[in-house]
């Protein structure tokens, strides 16, 4: 993964500016999963309200679009799955932050 993007993502997750969420990129209570935070950083203007999850990002409710993964130079779908799993098994961003700090170059 691009180092600059990874470091910014980590800072955003640590900032306290986002409410932790799971099961959707962003829900109707304005809670974000970790990947939703990354997408919000990449382009806030792409969020649209929807009736299923609360919000979607360019039509995506639960995963990162392929073109954004390419933009971030994400090279491992498996490691991105690890981030989704960590997010949905956690109650905060901390496990994702810890994982990113160690593994961002492998993602």
Q: Report the pLDDT value the prediction gives residue 54, as an integer from 0 to 100.
A: 92
Contacts 24+ apart (CB under 8 A), 70-73: 71/42, 72/1, 72/2, 72/5, 72/38, 72/42, 73/1, 73/2, 73/5
Tokens of 5: 């993007």
Residue 78 has pLDDT above 90, yes or no: no
The band of 43, judged by pLDDT with boundaries at 50, 70 and 90, is: very high
d(CA 89, CA 57): 22
The band of 79, judged by pLDDT with boundaries at 50, 70 and 90, is: confident
Residue 75 has pLDDT above 90, yes or no: no
State the Rg of the chain over Cα. 13
pLDDT in tens, 15-39: 999 999 999 999 999 999 999 999 9
CB 25 within 8 A of CB 32: yes
> In whole angstroms, how far apart are CA 85 and each of 12, 17, 50, 59, 99?
19, 22, 24, 21, 12
The band of 77, judged by pLDDT with boundaries at 50, 70 and 90, is: confident
């Amino acid at each position: 993964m691009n180092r600059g993007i990874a470091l910014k993502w980590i800072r955003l997750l640590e900032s306290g500016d986002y409410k932790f969420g799971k099961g959707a990129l962003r829900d109707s209570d304005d809670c974000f999963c970790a990947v939703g935070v990354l997408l919000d950083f990449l382009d806030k203007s792409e969020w649209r309200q929807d009736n299923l999850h609360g919000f979607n990002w360019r039509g995506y409710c639960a995963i990162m679009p392929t073109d954004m993964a390419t933009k971030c130079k994400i090279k491992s779908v498996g490691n991105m799955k690890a981030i989704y799993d960590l997010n949905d098994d956690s109650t905060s961003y901390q496990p994702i932050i810890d994982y990113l700090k160690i593994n961002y170059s492998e993602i």
